[in-house]
Structure 1
Amino acid sequence: MFRKANYCGFFLGVICAALVGCNKPLEDSVAQQIKKETPTNSDEQARSLTDVAGRATVPVEQAESRIKKAIPDCAEPYIGRYQATISCDDPFVRCKDGTADYIINLQEDGIAHRTLIHSGQISFASNLYHRQDRWSYDRQNHQVILHRSNGVEFFYDIDKDQNLVMDLDKIVHASVLNEQYFAEGNPFPQQAYRLVKEKVS
């Protein structure tokens, strides 16, 4: 009985040792494999993240250079903010009394912002009097053309100080669309306003 118990204990010990012995190389090989693969994977992840980050930067720079090229070199001197103070007696500025500031901001990407401000505050609740248009420079006639989003074009002569002066005759008769727009009763400036260019310090 005692011998049987010893044999059973012995066999049990041998089996356990065999199992532990078999598992040890397997554990070692798995550990080594994990060790080998982990740096490679993290290197690949690091490389792919760097590649993605690098690729993301290049198109943005290319897009910026394309945006800057939207306006030719000869038009660059006219980039800036222009302003005229207009009496509310003129229906063009759409205010009841006092004065309004008519502001045009010509940007290097060819976008133009038009804004009317009355008594130091924006005189409208919607964006009706703040528009985003496009602009271009007519080298032959030495004019800035404001291409409004509705298709109507406004023409501005450039004076010796690089200020913008409305060309009323051309604004009215430049196209059939312009003529139709003002014939429908849309407000037309009562005089050729001069928009003074803001000095950049």
Structure 2
Amino acid sequence: MFLKADYRRCILVSVLLGLGGCNKPLEDSIAEKIESENQRVNSAAANTQGKKLTEVAGKATMPVDTTTATQKKIPENAEPYVGRYQSSISCADPLMKCKEGTGDLIINLLADGTAHSSIIHLGQITFDSDPYYHKDSWSYDEEHHQVILHRSNGVKFFYNVDQDQSLQMDLDKIANASEQNKQYFAEGHPFPQQAYRLVKESTPVKTNKS
């Protein structure tokens, strides 16, 4: 009886020791996976932090190509329309390319003749992603009192300037002004669901301190 009990006890101890030896590599493998996942999450969080609205969209200017800035200057009659324009638009409009809530459509018209258009959603923006950011040029049509954004693909977006110097989309011209415009939207690119009004950001008045 004692021999059998000792024999069984020896077998049980051997099995447990064997399991313990097998568990060590498994634990190491799990630890490595967890560490790898933590690094991935931290890296993603750092990238998101780098795109926060406070860092890239809170100013009145956007990234500017300095070579372009020295080559082109808008005419004097267009200078009053230099500035930052913004409109909050529902994500239900495909123009905004977001799933829920609202996003901000922002256009910066610079004195060097460049126009920087961006879509901001949940405080984030991606500069290197075409659907969310465009660097274009702009002009002012004095006869029709309109600001025109000129895309590199030949498509033009027209904005009426109101008495407050805000910009309101001219949907008819955007849709039909040229063959390039007609083809662009016929290909399925999102067309604004309504004539959105982009309000010009007021420029702080500077005062001289004695």
Out of 156, 162, 165, the residue aligned to residue 165 of structure 2 is: 162
One-letter amino acid matched to 1:132: K
* Distance (whole Å) between structure 2 residues aligned to residue 128 and residue 69 of structure 1: 26
Out of 136, 152, 157, the residue aligned to residue 155 of structure 2 is: 152
Quote the offset at 1:128 in angstroms: 3.4
Moved over 3 A (4+): 66-69
Distance 1:91 1:101, change over 3 A: same
Q: Where does residue 37 of structure 2 map in the other structure?
A: none
Out of 101, 104, 126, the residue aligned to residue 101 of structure 1 is: 104
Q: Where does residue 20 of structure 1 map in the other structure?
A: none
Alignment: residue pair count: 138
* Distance (whole Å) between structure 2 residues aligned to residue 183 and residue 106 of structure 1: 28
* Distance (whole Å) between structure 1 residues aligned to residue 121 and residue 128 of structure 2: 12
**What is the TM-score with the length of structure 1 in the denominator?**
0.65
Deviates more, 1:68-77 or 1:172-181: 68-77
One-letter amino acid matched to 1:99: T
Alignment of 1:129 onto 2:132: yes
Name the structure where helix makes up a greater proportion of residues.
Answer: 1
Alignment of 1:181 onto 2:184: yes
Unpaired segments ≥5 residues, structure 1: 1-62
Q: Where does residue 31 of structure 1 map in the other structure?
A: none
Counting aligned pairs with the same residue, the percent is 63
Q: Contact 1:67–1:108 (CA<8 Å) still a contact in 2?
A: no
Q: Where does residue 123 of structure 2 map in the other structure?
A: 120
* Distance (whole Å) between structure 1 residues aligned to residue 202 and residue 91 of structure 2: 26
* Distance (whole Å) between structure 2 residues aligned to residue 80 and residue 170 of structure 1: 23
Q: Where does residue 29 of structure 2 map in the other structure?
A: none
* Distance (whole Å) between structure 1 residues aligned to residue 168 and residue 137 of structure 2: 18
Q: Contact 2:108–2:115 (CA<8 Å) still a contact in 1?
A: yes
* Distance (whole Å) between structure 2 residues aligned to residue 67 and residue 124 of structure 1: 22
Q: Where does residue 50 of structure 2 map in the other structure?
A: none
**What is the TM-score with the length of structure 2 in the denominator?**
0.62
What's the C-alpha RMSD, in Å, of the aligned pairs? 2.1
* Distance (whole Å) between structure 2 residues aligned to residue 130 and residue 163 of structure 1: 21
* Distance (whole Å) between structure 2 residues aligned to residue 124 and residue 132 of structure 1: 10
Quote the offset at 1:129 in angstroms: 1.3
One-letter amino acid matched to 1:176: E
Q: Contact 1:80–1:197 (CA<8 Å) still a contact in 2?
A: yes
* Distance (whole Å) between structure 2 residues aligned to residue 84 and residue 128 of structure 1: 17
Unpaired segments ≥5 residues, structure 2: 1-65, 205-210
Quote the offset at 1:123 in angstroms: 6.3
Who wins on radius of gyration, i.e. which is larger?
1
Q: Deviations over 1:39-87 (max 9, x none)?
A: xxxxxxxxxxxxxxxxxxxxxxxx99x8486201000000000000000
Q: Where does residue 70 of structure 1 map in the other structure?
A: 73
Q: Where does residue 84 of structure 2 map in the other structure?
A: 81
Q: Deviations over 1:6-55 (max 9, x none)?
A: xxxxxxxxxxxxxxxxxxxxxxxxxxxxxxxxxxxxxxxxxxxxxxxxxx
